[in-house]
A = this chain, B = another copy of it.
Amino acid sequence: MKIPVLEVFGPTVQGEGMVAGQKTMFVRTGGCDYSCAWCDSAFTWDGSQKADALTPETIVAKLQEIGGDRFNHVTISGGNPALHKGIGELVQLLKAQDIGTAVETQGSFWQEWLREIDDVTISPKPPSSKMVTDWEKLDYFCEQLQSRPSGSQSLKVVIFNEGDLAYAKKVHARYPNMTFYLQVGNDDLEEGTPTRLRDHLLERYEWLVDTVMEDKELNNVRVLPQIHTLIWGNKQGV
């Protein structure tokens, strides 16, 4: 079963969340059931870039062609990769080669192959995205994973403003046993100079840290910047 793919690149570092810093290859799938106002990968769903329909075997061949023997971890991102049933076959091929896997998805669609993913990041979208969370779908998604070891999945909410923080608290209170990440949002996708973007984002990160440190409803949480953005700014494919 073919999968729409927009980018295959790496190895590079995972810049976000529960596997931040991990040396990994990226497979970015096309298509999304969401259209977040601030999406940093809008090219996966806004028609500006065309996806190739690739078989799982072709994707593995591409990973090997680009990454050679310099990787043993693959991150499947999007778009929303959980739209694609065919990824199950890709995951099996990677597992057979002892390659670790990570996925990030908003938790709006469930796929059985998610059980086979080493690190699942569930990233429900806060109000600033203009998306509306279907809590029943998110409950169902989280329930499917709850029998796995606690370090195998996490929630991550991107924060742009106070309204997003209120949403994050609601998510954390609803799933108190899930490792919980707060990530500072990138609100300047047009800035072309990495050092200028970096200063701005670290200012926003400091605001988020200060705010969370004062809030007793957000104790067992982790607050992180997007590491790749601090180095490479808004550049695609790194």
Q: Could you tell me which A residues sit within 8 Å of B by CB distance?
A: 10-13, 19-23, 68-73, 100, 149, 151, 181, 195, 198-199, 202, 205-206, 209, 212-216, 218-225, 227, 230-231
Contacts and interface: CB of A to CB of B under 8 A. Distances in A.
A221 B23 contact: yes
B13 A209 contact: yes
B73 A223 contact: no
Contacts of A10: 213
Contact of A23 (B72, B222, B227): B222
Given A22-B221, A70-B215, 16 more contacts: A10-B213, A11-B219, A12-B209, A12-B213, A13-B213, A20-B224, A21-B222, A21-B224, A23-B212, A23-B219, A71-B219, A73-B219, A73-B220, A149-B151, A224-B227, A225-B230
Contact of A230 (B22, B70, B220, B230): B230
Contacts of A198: 198, 202
B223 A21 contact: yes
Contacts of A195: 199
Contacts of A231: 202, 205-206, 209
A115 to B, nearest CB: 18
A118 to B, nearest CB: 11
A175 to B, nearest CB: 16
Contacts of A216: 68-70
A181 B69 contact: no
Contact of A213 (B11, B20, B181, B220): B11
The 9 closest A-B pairs by CB, nearest first: A21-B222, A151-B151, A21-B224, A72-B219, A69-B216, A11-B213, A22-B222, A70-B216, A21-B223
Contacts of A71: 219
A173 to B, nearest CB: 14
